A and B are shown apart, each in its own frame.
Chain A
């Protein structure tokens, strides 16, 4: 696999009125060709700054951002503009030209690249067909819904035939149903055109649905990076746990009580663990909450259980789950 991006120790510090703010701290990660790479974090975590270093809308303070082995910081303004033809971007607020028709919007990157008029219109129409909006070619963006506007933005992003598509909170202004449709479209484009996609989001569901890999950004730092399945079934960092597991509102019902979380991945989700527990050990547990999510078609689940009061019994239950290959961890209220 070819590396499309290689980030090494990327840091970004803003100076404002003598005050310093570290938006990115020492981030290193690689993105490979053809993958859908999610970057997730709370708002203010620095993910929008991070994606802007990928096409040098933001300069890094230290570290390097390499795009196909080229250090973006070393490019002249002219070279950078040329490279940007291969790095498209879509935005939360769509950023379409309001005074131009849909077709003319999609033509923009081609005009910038100096493609002649007829070829430009043909390509733009082709792109509109991909996003299913060819009938709206002569309409102004103000007449379109949010989802349609983002489709136009995607058509525009594809027009210059880029190597990578950066999505900055591209679905955050859309409702869940439209979000699903846009994500499906992105997935389709990823498969059909082998286009690498980098998605910035604060929504777990977006990463779950289409990403192959995920990086979790917390407070400007890279908390965790890996395959979506690994990170979601076994989050290691506190930031990842906070994102993957819903917070626990329950407290043990008695003083000696203990709460545990068991997490199971797709290979185990078909086994009836609780029934097995009762049958084999005779110990009972109380299910406080449970949920499962589908990541790339495989079910991942977690349960919060309250254990019996007796310490011996608790050990027996935990041993049973661990012996069955589940990950077990103790939880506190509001974790």
Chain B
């Protein structure tokens, strides 16, 4: 490998981390409330509302069932609208975020479902409102599980970010594609793959450690 490629890989690592970080952040900003909404409006929960639950659930399911590669292409006009261009690292953050939102929402929902019903009953018996119960009882109790879920989500986003190379995104995925696949540079291909694997492992491990530290049970 020559210096040029090593430079490119270094830049690629940075871009991948950027994409993963911002896409994860934005997807949680939207996905967390969405997951809470899915949880709270489902049957027998605090804010049971069949209509809201059905509509939100349907949108999430549709978004989730789209293959990410298709979503990338479908979202090109939207991406242009938001960031002004459809290629590059910044542009990739848009479809990554959109693609991760439904996954985050479902993950959050399932973490919240794990909270013991007794704790919710205790909150109710103390005169807590549904919103208070969610913010001060349910979410704090679910933190370890939410962290565990976050590790999985971030690793997924990282994997997706590699795919973005196909439509002109940056990052390690694009390098693997351009040098490794189109130019048959096997060493570049394997280096990027190894780097991606290492990054996923670090994310997963950090998530697990944080969740364990938080879990007081």
* A284 part of interface (Cβ distance < 8 Å): no
How many angstroms from the CA of A283 to the CA of B127 in the assembled complex? 65
Task: Give the interface segment out of B22-30, B88-96, B136-144, B172-180.
Answer: B136-144
B118's partner among A84, A91, A166 (CB-CB below 8 A) is A91
State the CA gap A97–B143 with chains docked (Å).
Answer: 12
Number of interface residues of B (CB under 8 A): 22
A128 at the interface (CB under 8 A from B): no
Choice from B125, B140, B141 contacting A89 with Cβ under 8 Å: B125
Contact yes or no, A81 B129, CB < 8 A: yes
In the complex, are the beta carbons of B125 and A87 less than 8 A apart? yes
Convert B128-148 into 0s and 1s, putting 1 for each residue whose CB lies closer than 8 angstroms to a CB of A.
Answer: 110010001100110110000
Q: B136: which A residues are within 8 A, CB to CB?
A: 108, 111
Question: Known contacts being A93-B118, A112-B132, is A99 close to B127, with CB within 8 Å?
Answer: no
Secondary structure class of chain A's binding surface, majority of residues: mixed
Please state if A57 and B126 are interface contacts (CB–CB under 8 Å): no
Taking the nearest CB of chain A, how far is it from the CB of B141, in angstroms? 6
Query: Which 4 pairs, one residue from A and one from B, show the smallest C-beta to C-beta distance?
Result: A84-B127, A95-B122, A95-B118, A81-B127
State which residues 246-270 of A face B: CB under 8 Å.
Answer: none
Can you name the residue of chain A whose Cβ is closest to the Cβ of B216?
Answer: A140
| Cβ–Cβ contact B216 & A141, under 8 A | yes
Most chain A CB neighbours (cut-off 10 Å) among B126, B128, B132: B126
A99-B214, A140-B216 known; A112+B126 contact, CB < 8 A: yes
- Contact A98–B141 (Cβ < 8 Å): yes
Q: How far is the CA of A111 from the CA of B132 in the complex (A)?
A: 10
Q: B116 contacts A82, CB within 8 Å?
A: no
Q: Which residues of B contact A (CB under 8 A)?
A: 116, 118-119, 121-129, 132, 136-137, 140-141, 143-144, 214, 216-217
Tell me whether A99 and B126 are in contact (CB under 8 A). Answer: no
A97-B140 contact given A91-B122, A140-B216, A141-B216, CB 8 Å threshold? yes
B125 pairs with A98, CB closer than 8 A? no
Q: Is the CB of A89 within 8 A of B127?
A: no
- Given known pairs A89-B122, A91-B118, the reply for A100 and B140 (CB within 8 Å) is yes
- Measured CA separation A83–B116 after assembly (Å): 24
Q: Which residues of A contact B116 (CB under 8 A)?
A: 93, 95
Contact status B122-A113, CB under 8 Å: no
Give 14 CB contacts A-B under 8 Å.
A84-B124, A84-B125, A84-B126, A84-B127, A93-B118, A95-B116, A95-B118, A97-B137, A98-B216, A108-B126, A112-B132, A142-B216, A142-B217, A160-B126
- With contacts A57-B121, A93-B118, A112-B132 taken as known, whether A98 is within 8 angstroms of B127 at the C-beta atoms is no
CA distance A87 to B124 in the complex (A): 11
Interface residues of A (CB under 8 A from B): 55, 57, 77, 80-85, 87-89, 91, 93, 95-100, 108-109, 111-113, 140-142, 160, 166
B122 contacts A82, C-beta separation under 8 Å: no
Residues of B within 8 Å of A57, CB to CB, are 121, 124-125
Q: Determine the distance from Cα of A96 to Cα of B217 in the docked complex, in whole angstroms.
A: 11
Besides A93-B118, A95-B118, 19 other A-B contacts (C-beta < 8 A): A80-B127, A83-B127, A84-B124, A85-B126, A89-B122, A89-B125, A91-B121, A91-B122, A95-B116, A96-B122, A98-B141, A99-B144, A99-B214, A99-B216, A109-B126, A112-B126, A112-B128, A113-B127, A160-B126
Q: How far is the CA of A88 from the CA of B127 in the complex (A)?
A: 9
> Measured between alpha carbons, how far is A55 from B214 in the docked complex, in Å?
33
CA distance A55 to B118 in the complex (A): 15
Which chain B residue lies CB-closest to A94? Answer: B118
Q: How far is the CB of B192 from the nearest CB of chain A, in Å?
A: 39
Bound-complex Cα distance A98 to B122 (A): 13
Task: State the Cβ distance, A97 to closest chain B Cβ, in Å.
Answer: 6
Complex: chain B residue closest to A101, CB-CB: B216
Q: Are B119 and A95 in contact (CB under 8 A)?
A: yes
Once the chains are docked, how many angstroms separate the CA of A93 from the CA of B126? 16
Q: Is there an interface contact between B127 and A97, defined as CB atoms closer than 8 Å?
A: no
B117 to chain A, nearest CB (A): 9
- The docked-state distance in angstroms from the alpha carbon of A142 to that of B127 is 25
For the complex, give the distance between the alpha carbons of A67 and B160 in Å: 58
User: Taking A91-B118, A140-B216, A142-B217 as contacts, is the C-beta distance between A99 and B125 under 8 angstroms?
Assistant: no
